[in-house]
């Protein structure tokens, strides 16, 4: 099973097959609105503006998955989270329904991502704003810790967009 075989729920409650993103470079992030890393939304939006329209059919997308598992730092409804991100950080990239990334109720997508790129000591996600980079063929190519700022990923994204 590959990344394009998964279906997720967007923040409006609609099922979205990830095969809709085939051929695109993806940055998949578990986020939170009340975290010390929340200002990374600004950097994520800058990446999105820089790369989303580039590369013809190899466009870049950020897939935002709010998660309340770490310190209860994403307590709002999907609608409240959407409003916060748009008003405070002017985000325009796709946002999905709140999920869990670890444990028995972990999203199958995140179980897959973790199996493809393990963390330093454990495959589990350690905190909000862990980032997974996926190439246009659906390969999970990298995993970045929450402390890795979005702007530091620009070179990796650029390389993937330039690779056929």
Supply 4's token pair. Answer: 């394009």
Among 35, 44, 67, 161, which one carries the catalytic annotation?
Answer: 35
DSSP string, 5-56: G-EEEBTTS-EEEGGGGTTSEEEEEEE-SSSTTTTHHHHHHHHHHHHTT-ST
Contact 97, 10 (CB under 8 A): yes
Cα dihedral 93, 160, 153, 101 in deg (nearest 10): 60
Task: Examine the residue annotation and report whether 35 is marked as an active-site residue of this protein.
Answer: yes
Catalytic residues: 35
């Amino acid at each position: 099973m590959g990344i394009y075989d998964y279906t997720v729920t967007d923040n409006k409650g609609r099922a979205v097959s990830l095969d809709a993103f085939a051929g695109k470079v993806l940055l998949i992030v578990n986020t939170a609105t009340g975290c010390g890393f929340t200002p990374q939304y600004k950097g994520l939006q800058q990446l999105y503006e820089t790369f989303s329209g580039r590369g013809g059919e190899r466009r870049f997308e950020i897939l935002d998955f709010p998660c309340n598992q770490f310190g209860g730092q994403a307590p709002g409804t999907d609608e409240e989270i959407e409003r916060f991100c748009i008003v405070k950080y002017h985000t325009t990239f796709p946002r999905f329904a709140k999920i869990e990334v670890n444990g028995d109720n972990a999203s199958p997508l995140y179980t897959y991502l973790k199996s493809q790129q393990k963390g330093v000591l454990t495959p589990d996600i350690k905190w909000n704003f862990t980032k997974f980079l996926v190439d246009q063929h659906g390969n999970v190519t990298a995993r970045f810790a929450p402390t890795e700022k979005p702007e530091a990923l620009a070179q990796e994204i650029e390389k993937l967009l330039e690779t056929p």
